[in-house]
Structures are given as structure tokens and as C-alpha cells.
Structure 1
Amino acid sequence: MYRPILATHGLTKSFGALNATRDVSIDLNSKEIHAIIGPNGAGKSTLIKQICGEMQPDSGRVTLDGQDVSKLSTFARARAGLGRTFQVSDLCREDTVVENVVLGSLGAEGAVWRFWKSALKTRDLCERAERALERVGLIEERYTRCANLSHGQRRQLEVAVALTLSPRAFIMDEPMAGLGVEGSKQMTSFLDGLRKEAPILLVEHDMDAVFALADRISVMVYGKVIATGTPNEIRNRKEVREAYLGDAV
């Protein structure tokens, strides 16, 4: 029987009279990139927060590899295999690349260490961090201060943190944000290869990247998914053009 890696089932969240998400049901399949697009205020960020456990829905549920994770904390969902990167990088700029991966992975797991330096001297943690850096192409930068990385490299570093948890699925919130044309091309190529590690639920405003990468696209407007389909199907949907795309594609 077919089962998606990640799925939402009727997620609904209201803030007073504002319906931030309205009965949102989407899924993510193995080796797939499923993009979520829509205008500002469409409810994309609220949806991501519900999927990752930062916000509880008023109704609906989230399943990861068939298991209901709706009641789990953000940390527990990370341990279960939900890898997240953020719209604004959440990295320690004064620490080295490898230190960021070790400490970031512990933080994502919700682990508590009385002495951070002890964690940095733990062999298995450092080896796991270096394996993740090798996979994202940053192993040669492992002793570089995070502040000295390019914006695109910091995005790759966030992925390395997520990889230490052996994610079943990635949730990526605007990974192209702040990148120039060349940086976006490099990130697009990187994400295209990353889907082999785990499928990606991608929230992104860069339509060139979305239509180059996505196997499927879901369009949100006023908290509701108005269309889901392949890039060609979405490109040719009249209601999508009227609501969001216009002449962008």
C-alpha cells in the first residue's frame, strides 16, 4: 500500500477571524521535491510551524512515515526524522563550521549538555558532524568560522546540521532568500542532489528555482490550497495565474 513520507491531514488554524490555514492536506513522497508557493500572508509559514511542532493546529494532524506526530514537540519530531532549515539562518557565527554542526545537532535533538566543550570533544559526535559536512561539500571548511562563510555556504551548513539526525524528510523555508543569481543556481543544483538523501518540502518565492526543482507544486491563497500539480499543470491553471503567478512564468 502506498504511503507518503510526510503528510498533513486537514490542518486548520485560526487567529480570531483570520483563517491562517484552512483544511490543508498535502503529502511528500520519496525522493520528491514538493514546493509550497503563494503570496505573502497565504499561510505558508503557519503551515510549516504546524508541521514542525512550533504551533498546534485547531484541527487536523501530521504524519511522518505513517506515524502520527501531531502531539510531539519540535525536538521529538526532529528525532523522529524531520529535518528543518530556516528562512533566517540560526547559526553561531563566531563558532567554527564543525562546532556549529555538533552543537546544532544536539540542539535539534533537544539534548542538554552541562558543558558544551565536552560535547565538542566527543569523538562520535565530531565524526558524525564531519560525515555530514562531507556530504554537503563543506569538509574543507570545517575549521572556518561560520562568519567567514558565504550566505550559500551557511545554507549548506544548516543542511549538514539536519543530516546528522538522518532525516526522513526536509522542511526548507526559503533557502534561496538573500542569494544572488549565481548563488541561487548553486543552491538549486545542491537541492536537486539532496533529494536523494531525503525528500524536500520547499517553501520558496524564487519561481525560477521552484519550477526547475519541483516534482509537484501546491499553491496556497488565504490559508487554503487552491491547486496541486506538476509544474506544467500549475503553470497552465488560470486560477493560479490570477491569484499569484501572473506573468512570472
Structure 2
Amino acid sequence: MTDPVLQTKGICKSFGALRASRNISIDLFPGEIHAIIGPNGAGKSTLIGQICGTLKPDAGSVELLGQDVTHQTARARARAGLGRTFQISSLAMEDTVLQNALLGALGASGNPWRFWKDVLKDQDLRATAEEALVRVGLEDHARVRTAELSHGQRRQLEVAVALTLRPKALVMDEPMAGMGSEGSKRLTGFLDELRHEAPILLVEHDMDAVFALADRISVLVYGEVIATGTVEEIRADAAVREAYLGEDA
């Protein structure tokens, strides 16, 4: 059986009396899109923080490519191949599209403290950044200031920055948020192709996108996974329908 690229084993996290993560064990396999869904306050952001290294679990472990990364920083996990996009944009709005992609490539190089002029002249870094922009369809916007992009284009740029890491796995936090139907449709098609390069742990409220993309879905409610299964299994699960999907699922 193929080993998972990314997995959590019984991770727990509390904030005072609030148990935000309750013994969560999930995994992500090569070529897969595994969606995490749940109502607001379910603990999705806390789970992502523990997976990506911005929060340390109180118990349990996180493994990437079979290696325990529970005590590694977010930057170390990124260098090891864990890419991430954010619910709230983390882009440098006053920099150009190409400069944002270059910053991603620079971070992946393991030498983030180089002078900016040297970075701009580094042909390898520039090639990595430009290739990522081509992948997401932003090559014609390379010199545009990021603040001038549409919301959908900023989402595309966040994916490009993640791709400069040449990730082994991607964690995507609501990539469809704020996008119109056409933008969501384009991004859905792109992610469907991207899964073969890097499997995706997808946290998303757009259920049309989730049902179109996910090989498996895990449902998180009050910090606990109440069900994991295929789209058909999740649609048919009475507890999931009551907790989250509703009768129109």
C-alpha cells in the first residue's frame, strides 16, 4: 500500500477550557485531494496551523514524507516540501507579481537573507518564479503591482508562490473564497490537474468545488472528525447532514 505523503496522528490542541482539536488523525496520499469541511468554529484553522507549523499540538504528531515534523518550524516544513496558501492573503501588495513569486523562490532556496538586487539578477530563481506564473496564467501580469490584481488573480498568485517551493504536498485554506463562479471554475480545473504533481489537503466552504474535486472528505465538528469518506459516503451520512450539509446536500 502506498504510504501517505502527509498525516496527523492523534493531534490535540486546547486553548484553556476550549478543546479545539480532539485526537485528529487524517492522511493525504499521492495524487489525492482530501477536503476538510465543517461549520465555522469547527477547528479547521487550528488544524491547519498544527499541520503547517504555526501552532504546536499539545499531543500527537505530524508527519511529512514519513518524517516526524511536529517540532519543526513552518519555514522548515516549507523547505521540506509543504506548500501552503492562506485564507487571508499574505502577499506583499506593494511589490509586483514577479517579486512576490521571487520571494517564494528565495525562501525555497534556503538562503532568504540575500540582497534584493542579487535576487533579481539570479537567473535560476527568476526562472523558477516565472515558471510558476506561467503555470497559473499570470505571466502577462509579472510587472503589475500586486495591489492592482483582482481578488481571483491574487488567489492565483498565492498558488504560484506555493509552487515555487516545488511542494510535495499542498495545504490550501479556502482558495475559492471571494471568487466568482467563473474564477472558481478555472481554479477547480487547475487544482484537478495539480493533484498529480502535489496532493492537496483542501479546506473549503464552496461545496460545489469540494464535491467536484475531493477523492475523500473529512468532516470536522467541534474539533473532532465525525466522518471521513468519499463524496457519496459523506453525502449519505446522516450525522454529517445534520451537523453541516443540511437536507439539500
1:136 is aligned with what amino acid?
V
Question: What residue in structure 2 maps to residue 244 of structure 1?
Answer: 244
Offset at residue 154 of structure 1 (A) = 1.3
Once structures 1 and 2 are overlaid, which stretch shifts more, 169-178 or 88-97? Answer: 88-97
1:131-210 to 2 correspondences below 5 Å: 131-210=131-210
**Which 5+ residue runs of structure 2 have no aligned equivalent?**
none
Distance in 1 (CA, whole Å) between partners of 2:99 and 2:117 is 9
Once structures 1 and 2 are overlaid, which stretch shifts more, 98-107 or 32-41? Answer: 98-107
1:239 is aligned with what amino acid?
A
Once structures 1 and 2 are overlaid, which stretch shifts more, 123-132 or 18-27? Answer: 123-132
Distance in 2 (CA, whole Å) between partners of 1:109 and 1:225 is 36
Distance in 2 (CA, whole Å) between partners of 1:123 and 1:226 is 49
Question: What residue in structure 2 maps to residue 49 of structure 1?
Answer: 49
Distance in 2 (CA, whole Å) between partners of 1:140 and 1:27 is 37
1:212 is aligned with what amino acid?
A
Offset at residue 182 of structure 1 (A) = 1.8
Does 2:21 align with 1:7? no
Superimposed CA distance per residue, residues 110-161 of structure 1 (whole angstroms, 9 cap, x where no aligned partner): 7432532321222111111111112222222222221222222211111111
Q: Normalised by the size of structure 1, how large is the TM-score?
A: 0.95
Given that 1:21 and 1:47 are in contact with CA atoms closer than 8 Å, whether structure 2 keeps it comes out as yes
Given that 1:33 and 1:214 are in contact with CA atoms closer than 8 Å, whether structure 2 keeps it comes out as yes
Give 3-state SS (helix, strand or coil) of 1:35's partner: strand
Describe the shift of the 1:125–1:108 C-alpha distance in structure 2 as closer, same or farther (beyond 3 A).
Answer: closer
**Which 5+ residue runs of structure 1 have no aligned equivalent?**
none
Distance in 1 (CA, whole Å) between partners of 2:245 and 2:195 is 25
- Which segments of structure 1 move beyond 3 Å, counting only runs of 4 or more? 107-112
Given that 1:78 and 1:109 are in contact with CA atoms closer than 8 Å, whether structure 2 keeps it comes out as no
Q: Normalised by the size of structure 2, how large is the TM-score?
A: 0.95
Give 3-state SS (helix, strand or coil) of 2:93's partner: coil
Q: What's the % identity of the aligned pairs?
A: 68
Offset at residue 94 of structure 1 (A) = 2.1
Distance in 2 (CA, whole Å) between partners of 1:244 and 1:133 is 36
Does 2:226 align with 1:223? no
Aligned length, in residue pairs: 249
